[in-house]
Chains A and B, each alone.
Chain A
Amino acid sequence: MTLLGMQTVLAQLYTDRVFREAFFADPMATCARSALTEVERHQLAALDRLQVERYAWSLQGKRLHLVRALLPATANALAEQFAPLFHQYCDIQPSALEYVDEAIACTTFLSVAGITEPAYLADVLTCERLRLEVLYALADANPRGLGITPEAHPQLTAHARVVACQYDMATLYPLIADGARVEARPDPSLVLIGKVRDQLRVKWKRINATTAQLLGLCNGTQTVQAIIDEVAMGLCLHAGAKHAFAAECLRLLQSLVDSALMTLYADDTSEL
């Protein structure tokens, strides 16, 4: 057997707690199905368990450190529960993922782990995941100075998300991420998460249902005018109010274009 065979067993030994326990309970049987030679199986069986366990623990500690840095609000919200829960996640995902993928996978795990405290945790996990997706999405920035027109087809970029929350996460998320102890009451809200142009950080903005509807229609298939008309129709606005509403929508959409949170297409196929 080649060195790779040994390394493959070692990689699993160092990262998979279940495999490691089975291995030290009966090393020869655990390695029986591997392609290792008899000599190699005996060499592995002779490994110092304390050394292996200490190394395995340090590896998870390093993974935990990276994920904690990417999920500050989750780590703060869960406090002393975070580390033990992360170790449970590692039992399900023993092979380490790339660090951003690892953090997102961890939020998915935590969201189905049956944790009930704090009550706003589900919102925190959703916001953390979307924050990472928004920050690390690769999207071409609009050229600066791009002006919105009624005929353009707007579309939110990968750097923007709208999410429905049970709590006012636009206010709460920055506080929780900074380590504040928060006692929050349910306050259903819609939040726009947007990456700040040219910076690796996001902004949180609470928006109303009308704005959420407007942004939801910005999927590249309709013109600005058609979108505004559709939303205005639902609001049953008279002519004067509709004019003011349209102007406000254009200002909002222009600000999103300027912030690189929205792209404009000349038609539904080609970008401006």
Chain B
Amino acid sequence: MQGFPQLGVGISYRPIWRQAVLAHREQLGCLEVIAEHYLRGLPEKDAELDQLRAAFPLLPHSIGLSFGTDAPLDAAHLRNIAQLVERIQPAWFSEHIAFTHVPGWNIGHLASLPFTHAAVDAVCRNIRQWRATVGVPLCLENIVYMVALPGDLTEAQFLTEIVEREDCGLLLDLHNVYTNALNHGYDATEFLTALPLHRVVQIHLSGGHDEDGYRMDSHSTPTPEPVWELFRFTASRAPINAVIIEWDIQLPAFEVMQREVGRAQAILREECDDVARHADRPGAIVY
């Protein structure tokens, strides 16, 4: 997307890889950090953040603001996020189009929203509250939905309405697209075509597993081939600014992450000319 820097390919950081990440900094374009891991004020985590910040552009990724709750964002949490953003000066900040809690009750993870105009309005109100406090561009991520809620929009229309109305970037999680397409029986590439791909700023790549015939977005395996194909499809149509490889459970050796990063970089280089032709932007794209 225009106006965002090119950061290349990186990984979602985990402390177990700290030494390896710093030793291979030339291979990684950026690091995504989970914002909530750095909000406790622990000096060790602050020191870790400072060390990473000195070596990489950092992309804070939040999981607890709950933009989709039809209520104001938690002011204290928002202030903590603002302080974190001030500390690491990211090019953008990302969250999810989801809700994680309601006043007095915490779901504990991302829950899908009904694809309705009321939900669009709720998310947009919270984006405006966020913008009044935090001064960096916002990117919003599509999530997996396991429960189909009644709504009057398609998912693509829902996502589009939000990012277009509030002029946000899109963090396109391709394993989430793949998972939803498998579980709810639609074509993933048709879904992607219906999105405002010119708003794609960042891509998430990850793997999951199958459980009793159902696809789970467990972030526990390498990126599967169909998701690589969706990535190639998207890279040929969208000016992607960053790609992040995610892995949350049963963390592998760093070499596995390096292979995922390398493959993503290779696909981007192959699609580079197509991206340059589609993007109305001067200058070469450097990954």
- Give A contacts to B, CB under 8 Å: 2-4, 6-8, 10-12, 14-15, 43, 46-48, 51-52, 54-55, 58-59, 62-63, 65, 95-97, 136, 138, 141, 198-200
B282 is an interface residue with CB less than 8 A from chain A: no
CB closest residue in chain A, given B116: A3
CA A56 to CA B214, docked complex, whole Å: 15
CA A199 to CA B249, docked complex, whole Å: 23
Q: Is the CB of B69 within 8 A of A7?
A: yes
Q: Is the CB of B40 within 8 A of A48?
A: no
Interface band, chain B:
35 or more
Q: Contact flags (1/0) for B33-48 with A, using CB distance below 8 Å?
A: 0000000111111010
Q: Is the CB of B105 within 8 A of A15?
A: yes
Q: Is the CB of B119 within 8 A of A96?
A: no
Looking at the assembled complex, report how far the CB atom of B166 sits from the nearest CB atom of chain A, in whole angstroms.
17
CB closest residue in chain B, given A69: B249
Looking at the assembled complex, report how far the CB atom of A186 sits from the nearest CB atom of chain B, in whole angstroms.
36
CB closest residue in chain B, given A139: B43
- From A14, A47, A138, A198, B107 is in contact (CB under 8 Å) with A14
- Give B contacts to A, CB under 8 Å: 40-45, 47, 68-71, 99, 101-109, 111, 114, 116, 118-119, 122, 146-150, 214, 216, 249
CA A63 to CA B100, docked complex, whole Å: 13
CB closest residue in chain A, given B214: A54
Q: Is the CB of B147 within 8 A of A3?
A: no
Looking at the assembled complex, report how far the CB atom of B144 sits from the nearest CB atom of chain A, in whole angstroms.
9
Name which of A8, A11, A12, A59 has the most chain B CB atoms within 10 A of its CB.
A11
Looking at the assembled complex, report how far the CB atom of B225 sits from the nearest CB atom of chain A, in whole angstroms.
24
CA A60 to CA B254, docked complex, whole Å: 28
CB closest residue in chain B, given A7: B102
Instruction: Tell whether A11 pairs with B44 under 8 Å between CB atoms, given A2-B118, A52-B147.
Output: no
Looking at the assembled complex, report how far the CB atom of A37 sits from the nearest CB atom of chain B, in whole angstroms.
12
Could you list some 29 contacts between A and B, CB below 8 A? A2-B70, A3-B116, A4-B70, A7-B102, A11-B102, A11-B105, A11-B107, A11-B111, A12-B105, A15-B107, A43-B150, A47-B149, A48-B148, A51-B147, A58-B146, A58-B216, A59-B109, A62-B108, A63-B108, A95-B104, A95-B106, A96-B108, A97-B106, A136-B42, A138-B41, A141-B43, A198-B47, A199-B44, A200-B45
CB closest residue in chain B, given A97: B106
Q: Is the CB of A3 within 8 A of B216?
A: no
- From A7, A15, A43, B70 is in contact (CB under 8 Å) with A7
- From B43, B47, B103, B119, A3 is in contact (CB under 8 Å) with B119
Instruction: Tell whether A62 pairs with B99 under 8 Å between CB atoms, given A54-B214, A136-B42.
Output: no
Inside 8 A of A48's CB, which chain B residues have their CB?
Answer: 147-148
Q: Is the CB of B146 within 8 A of A8?
A: no
Inside 8 A of A47's CB, which chain B residues have their CB?
Answer: 147, 149
Inside 8 A of B149's CB, which chain A residues have their CB?
Answer: 10, 43, 47
CA A138 to CA B39, docked complex, whole Å: 12
Instruction: Tell whether A14 pairs with B111 under 8 Å between CB atoms, given A52-B147, A200-B44.
Output: yes
Inside 8 A of B70's CB, which chain A residues have their CB?
Answer: 2-4, 7
CA A6 to CA B41, docked complex, whole Å: 35
Inside 8 A of B103's CB, which chain A residues have their CB?
Answer: 8
Inside 8 A of A52's CB, which chain B residues have their CB?
Answer: 147
